[in-house]
Amino acid sequence: MKRFWSWAAFGFGFCYFFLPMVGMVEFSLRMRRGTYSLDAYRSVLGDPQFQATFGYSAVMALLTIVFGVFVVVPTVYWVRLKLPRLRPLIEFITLLPLVIPPIVIVFGYIRLFNTSSLLPMTGSAFGTDVLLMLGYSVLSLPYMYRAVDTGLAAIDISTLTEAAQSLGASWPVILLRVILPNVLVAVLSGAFLTFAIVIGEYVFAALLNRPAFGPFMVWAGGNKAYEPAALAVMTFALTWGCMALIQLVPRLFKHQRAHR
Q: Which of 32, 42, 55, 107 binds another protein (CB under 8 A)?
A: 107
- The smaller minimum CB distance to another protein, of residues 101 and 259, is found at 101
Range 159-178, binding another protein (CB under 8 A): 170-171
Q: Which of 43, 47, 52, 74 binds another protein (CB under 8 A)?
A: 74
Listed as own residue / partner, the contacts of 51-59 with beta carbons closer than 8 Å and 24 or more positions apart are 52/211, 53/211, 53/212, 53/213, 53/215, 53/216, 54/199, 54/213, 54/216, 56/210, 56/211, 56/212, 56/213, 57/198, 57/199, 57/200, 57/201, 57/205, 57/212, 57/213, 57/214, 58/199
Q: Which of 42, 49, 59, 101 binds another protein (CB under 8 A)?
A: 101
- The smaller minimum CB distance to another protein, of residues 27 and 260, is found at 27
Range 185-204, binding another protein (CB under 8 A): 193, 196-197, 200-203
Pairwise CA distance, residues 5 & 253, whole Å:
40
Pairwise CA distance, residues 61 & 67, whole Å:
10
Q: Which of 59, 100, 163, 248 binds another protein (CB under 8 A)?
A: 100
If one asks whether residue 59 binds another protein (CB under 8 A), the answer comes out as: no
Pairwise CA distance, residues 184 & 165, whole Å:
21
If one asks whether residue 6 binds another protein (CB under 8 A), the answer comes out as: yes
Q: Which of 38, 83, 153, 248 binds another protein (CB under 8 A)?
A: 83
